[in-house]
Amino acid sequence: MKEILSSDIGQGSIDGGNQSGLLDIYDGLETPVSDDVITLSTKHKKEIEDYAVRAASEYSDSMGRKEPTHIQDAMGIPSLIVRIDCTVDENDNIVAYELEDSPSGQGITDKVHSHVKGEGIKERLIDHYMSTIGDIPHVLVSGHRSHGTDDNIIVGQERYTFNEIPHIDGPVIVKAVPGIEESHAAYLHLQPQAIAPLVTEGDKSYAVSMGDLKEVKSDADLLLCADGELASQVAKSRLGSMAMGVSMYLNPIERKKYGKRGTVTATKLGTKIAQYQDRGGALLQRFVAPIQLENPEGRSNAIMRVFVLLDNKNENITAEAIGGCYVARPELIVHGASNAVAGAVLVE
């Protein structure tokens, strides 16, 4: 097992992320796993927490409206648990790609942490639910999703339902398809019980308010370098999660440095921006390289996915990063694909 210090990430490519085997997750699914870990510095942990607080404070839809869920009305936060997907830049600063407001991957992360250190994150998550709302939520997964989720590993099978709407009295988390009204319409009556976004799940409007993403209508609005050439950038649909509605363009210099696997041409980028207008509009973000790894499997691009516990006491939003996973794959757009390896992200 190698320990990769997050403070070393911005200095260049790092040896790590070697696959050590396959880890059984649920329903016969397996994921490649690495014994190598990334340990967050105190500085990076705080930067992730600060980002989570700012994003939670700005969280709303494109019209600036807060969704009337139980947790938003009662505590002024969109969710009790969020996930920050991020990297570290050459100046040793955390750069967040986005906040996952109803985060998936908690069960996989629990398994990965248990694999490498004998202790998962389940207990921390359950303790947070109990200390804030006094109960464990029921997770409802919309049938419009093509498969279930790993949330049952955390909340238990008795509190997990796929493609059904049972009678629920307590807190709920609804996992639908962001931006697809049909996927959440049948669950709207549960909005007063929801402790994560139900209608606005996957809405990136908070990042526009924070200045991290720029609204764009056409390829005439693409980001340019000082010399007028097209800058390396990522186009995203306003509504979506994981790699849904994400297109990446690299200029010739960075294409040579990072390769072009998973990227699009300038012409294709313009086409994608037009398509994203049907998913709440298109947003642009300057390209910041994922973590650069060297391993025998060629999974050279990685991002960290760090879970953060949110709370609000006396109108003061607080955040605690408890660690998470990194995901690495050959392509530059990194998510939990079949060719990705997962490893643990720990905190000092």
Residue 187: predicted pLDDT: 96
pTM of the full structure: 0.96
**Per-residue tens of pLDDT for the chain, all 348 residues:** 899 999 999 988 999 999 999 998 877 788 999 999 999 999 999 999 999 999 999 999 999 999 999 999 999 999 999 999 999 999 999 999 999 999 999 999 999 999 999 999 999 999 999 999 999 999 999 988 878 899 999 999 999 999 999 899 999 999 999 888 999 999 999 999 999 999 999 999 999 999 999 999 888 899 999 888 999 999 999 988 766 779 999 999 999 999 999 899 999 999 999 888 877 899 999 999 999 999 999 999 999 999 999 999 889 999 999 999 999 999 999 988 889 999 999 997
pLDDT at 5: 96
* Residue 260: closest CA among 331, 171, 312: 331
**Helix boundaries (H) for the chain:** 42-58, 70-75, 106-117, 122-132, 152-155, 181-184, 205-210, 252-258, 266-276
Q: Which of 265, 266, 280, 268 is nearest to 217 (CA)?
A: 280
Q: Could you tell me where the beta strands, DSSP code E, fall in the chain?
A: 3-5, 14-15, 19-24, 30-34, 37-40, 81-88, 94-100, 138-141, 160-162, 172-175, 214-216, 233-237, 246-249, 282-286, 291-294, 301-313, 316-329, 341-347
Q: What is the pLDDT of residue 243?
A: 66
Q: How far apart are CA 21 and CA 73, in angstroms?
A: 45
Cβ burial of 338 (10 Å; 0-12, 13-18, 19+) is exposed
